[in-house]
Structure 1
Amino acid sequence: MPSARTRIVIAEDHPLFREALSATIRERPDFELVGEAATGRAALDRIRELAPDVVVLDLKLPDLDGLQVLAALRRAQSPVRVVLLSAFLDGAIAYEAVAAGAEAYLSKDADRERVCDTIAAVARGETVLAPEIQAGIAQEIRTRGAVSRTALSPREQEVLALVAEGHSAPDIGKRLYLSPATVKGHLQSLYEKLGVSDRAAAVAEAMRRGLLE
């Protein structure tokens, strides 16, 4: 008795791309295309209705993007496996996608056969990342790891907050009952941890990293 075919939903808002991918999937005897969607909300509806094994999900969809759809699926504890397609192979986005539970991240420039091979691999329980994005993900891991290793101390957080409010080093010392030398030491530590060399850059970098509210 032949094994069950992999049931697939495609979520893609560009008709020509969706049609080409659909045609390729239909040619595979091990695949069954059970549904299509052109928006993020429609994709969620199709997945809930049809319970596919795999969804091929465009990163840029109307109303809800691919990452938002992925987050909704994981919140709902959906067992569907996700192949995320993007026109831009961005390391930070790929990191977020994999961290959020995507099983694959591919370029939309990949040929249809490669996408189908990825669907088959994902259906077997594998994780697939485009070779072009692996270096970017590795860099993200190194960067995020460095941030976690250089977490600011509570006192450094206080100093940073006062710097962001525009207070001078002597004023910070008075407010926190610290000597000028101690304040200078905290500032130097902040600069080193944030990879900057002055107060303005420290505030900008801290905002970028979400260290200031």
Structure 2
Amino acid sequence: MKPENKIRLLLVDDHPVVRDGLRRIQELEPRIQIVGEAGTVLAAVEAARRLVPQMIVMDVRLPDGDGIEACRRIKSFLPETHILFLPSYADNRFVLASMEAGADGYLLKESGTQRIVDAIFAILNGGTVFDPVVRRDAPGNLPSGAANPLNSLAEREARVLAEVAKGKTDKEVAVALGLTTKTARNYLDHIFTKLGLHTRTEAALLYARFSEKSRWPD
């Protein structure tokens, strides 16, 4: 594949040994080209501005700040660039902050190279990706008497949202539920309006947080 047709990937991690391991991504998947590396927030922002990557795989904790701030700054001038966080462990504070900053996924480093590659393509195809540990541990305890937003959904809407929370595209949601792609998209538009959502990442985290306490459990 010609270099200009490859997926441009920027790696951001302050540990050289981690970046060495992540270079296996382009060995495993020839459609991906690592165009740069950075180890700090400042270097990540500068590299993103200079290289204009399609995808950034980034640690949350960096020496001069955190990846959340880097994500927010990069998204301000490269809104179409996708960002996948790759931390060492799950921290719900960072999961929710990453969602608010515009990230597209959150996987633990222990996931393995193939899982990271799969996540990159899922995100580029319009999905969101969250590590099962993150989904399981997402804050979900509602205060006594608090309304669960998922309870406002009809059963079919809840099923659509559940599939979106798995990182599926509109087409994949449609196949899973026996719908047309247009119908799945219409359901999703209605869900977003009803719940005040703006992105699939917000939808995935909302479902992770409230699904076990809803009338539509998994």
**TM-score scaled by structure 2?**
0.60
Distance in 2, Cα, partners of 1:125 & 1:65: 25
Which residue of the partner structure matches residue 34 of structure 2? Answer: 33
Report if the CA contact (8 A) 1:71-1:100 is conserved: yes
Instruction: Give the drift of 1:65.
Output: 1.1
Percent of aligned pairs with the same amino acid: 29
Question: Secondary structure at the residue paired with 1:87?
Answer: coil
Which residue of the partner structure matches residue 96 of structure 2? Answer: 95
Which residue of the partner structure matches residue 119 of structure 2? Answer: 118
Distance in 2, Cα, partners of 1:120 & 1:5: 12
Which residue of the partner structure matches residue 135 of structure 2? Answer: 134
Instruction: Give the drift of 1:138.
Output: 5.2
Which residue identity is paired with 1:33? I
Distance in 2, Cα, partners of 1:46 & 1:36: 8
Which residue of the partner structure matches residue 157 of structure 2? Answer: none
Report if the CA contact (8 A) 1:92-1:136 is conserved: no
Which residue of the partner structure matches residue 43 of structure 1? Answer: 44
Deviations 1:179-210 (A, max 9, x none): xxxxxxxxxxxxxxxxxxxxxxxxxxxxxxxx
**Ranges of 4+ aligned residues in structure 1 off by more than 4 Å:** none
Deviates more, 1:40-49 or 1:74-83: 74-83
Distance in 2, Cα, partners of 1:128 & 1:122: 7
Question: Secondary structure at the residue paired with 2:46?
Answer: helix
Which residue identity is paired with 1:118? A
Report if the CA contact (8 A) 1:9-1:47 is conserved: yes
Which residue of the partner structure matches residue 79 of structure 1? Answer: 80
Distance in 2, Cα, partners of 1:69 & 1:99: 13
State the structure with more CA Rg. 1
| Alignment of structure 1 residues 167-186 onto 2, 5 Å | none
Distance in 2, Cα, partners of 1:73 & 1:16: 24
Change (3 A) 1:146 1:55: farther
Report if the CA contact (8 A) 1:91-1:139 is conserved: no
Distance in 1, Cα, partners of 2:84 & 2:25: 16
Deviations 1:96-124 (A, max 9, x none): 21122110101111111111111111122
- The aligned length equals 147
Change (3 A) 1:77 1:18: closer
Deviations 1:158-183 (A, max 9, x none): xxxxxxxxxxxxxxxxxxxxxxxxxx
Q: With a CA cutoff of 8 Å and minimum separation of 6, indicate the structure with the bigger relative contact order.
A: 2
Distance in 1, Cα, partners of 2:42 & 2:146: 37
Instruction: Give the drift of 1:23.
Output: 2.6
Report if the CA contact (8 A) 2:28-2:114 is conserved: no
Deviations 1:63-111 (A, max 9, x none): 1310110111233353210000111212232122112211010111111
Report if the CA contact (8 A) 1:26-1:32 is conserved: no
Distance in 2, Cα, partners of 1:93 & 1:136: 12
Which residue identity is paired with 2:127? E
Deviations 1:42-66 (A, max 9, x none): 1111110010100001101121310
